[in-house]
Amino acid sequence: MELGLKNKVALVLASSQGLGKSVARVLAGEGARVIICGRNEETLGATAEEICNATGAEVLPIQCDLSVADERESLVGSALEKWGRIDILVTNTGGPPPGQFEEFDLDDWEAVFNQLFLSAADVIRRVLPGMKENGGGRILTITSVAVKQPVDNLMTSNAIRAGILGFMKSLSNEVAADGITVNNIMPGFTLTERLKQLVEKNPDFGKVEDTIPMGRFGTPEEFAAAAVFLVSEPAGYITGVSLPVDGGWIKGT
């Protein structure tokens, strides 16, 4: 199947490693021009080089702390300056600290709201007018299975990521007639470097695999395959959906 991604411009947030990197890599492999971002300039440069060498695609690395409004503004500005358009936007960021309700004060809640919700909503706000002008686009938010089924000891993530779902669904209706699709993808336990480290540090974490019907963690490549389809041309009639890629972990329908 032709995914229609050649020469499309894709901005993938938080993509120096993990799920974001994997999505950027597959998009580049399909011929898209990709903008990647992260906080650490060295890691980001190495990732850009790796993707470029593996795919031959043009990759633009932009250093950005997505929790800082000014940096989000200059990220989108630099991306538009380079290629004049953004056809595909994938929102993503790092995970918030674990903990239960009574461990968080008001400042913590504000910080996580900024980190998880505003980092996505603000970049979407800045990219949307260009997509409308160009007659279409693809927006994909990355959240977590936690939005459907809370994960123990991840209070702030469970609460705030669910808000992204309401936002994404509302926005999908508002911009559908402009040819812009807005979808969400809910990763389950996926074997990124971060999860590998968690498993190494805490052998009990391996027991999580027993809670997954498929009996194993997912791979970043499996995640990216689903994400890239949702931002492809053939997925043009799919909007407002939230897709789990979780090996069956979510218990509800």
CB of 92 or CB of 184, closer to ligand NAD:
92
Nearest CA-CA partner of 67 in 6, 113, 126, 4: 113
User: From the list 35, 64, 89, 140, which residue makes contact with ligand NAD (rule: CB under 6 A)?
Assistant: 64
249 sits near ligand NAD (criterion: CB under 6 A): no
Distance from the first to the final alpha carbon of the chain = 29
Give the residue with the Cβ less far from ligand NAD, 86 or 175.
86
CA distance to 9, 70, 149, per residue, from 90 (Å)? 11, 19, 23
| Beta strands in 171-249, from DSSP E residues, in sequence order | 180-187, 242-245
Residue 142 interacts with ligand NAD (CB under 6 A): yes or no: yes
Nearest approach in angstroms of CB 209 to ligand NAD is: 12
Report the residue from 4, 31, 39, 241 that binds ligand NAD according to the rule CB under 6 A: 39
Distance CA 51, CA 228 (A): 16
CA distances in angstroms from 167 to 67, 72, 163, listed in the order given: 18, 19, 6
- Residues binding ligand NAD: number (CB under 6 A): 27
Nearest residue to 139 (alpha-carbon basis) of 155, 120, 159? 120
63 touches ligand NAD (CB under 6 A):
no
| CB-nearer residue toward ligand NAD: 38 or 130 | 38
Sheet with 88-91, side-by-side order of all strands: 59-63, 33-38, 9-12, 88-91, 137-142, 180-187, 242-245
Among 9, 12, 59, 66, binds ligand NAD (CB under 6 A): 66
Distance CA 209, CA 186 (A): 17
Site for ligand NAD in 70-109 (CB under 6 A): 92-95
Query: Does the footprint of ligand NAD cover residue 122 (CB under 6 A)?
Result: no
Residue 11 · residue 32 · CB < 8 Å = no
Region binding ligand NAD by CB under 6 A among candidate stretches 8-16, 75-83, 164-172, 201-209: 8-16
Is 102 exposed, middle or buried, given 0-12, 13-18 or 19+ CB atoms closer than 10 A? exposed
Residue 114 in contact with ligand NAD, rule: CB under 6 A? no
Does 112 bind ligand NAD (CB under 6 A)? Our answer is: no
Question: Closer CB to ligand NAD, residue 88 or residue 175?
Answer: 88
Nearer to ligand NAD, 71 or 233 (CB): 71
- Choice between 55 and 63, CB closer to ligand NAD: 63
Among residues 3, 17, 123, 140, which is the contact residue for ligand NAD, using CB under 6 A?
17
Q: Which spans of this chain sit near ligand NAD (rule: CB under 6 A)? A: 14-20, 37-39, 64-67, 92-95, 142, 144, 187, 189-190, 192-195
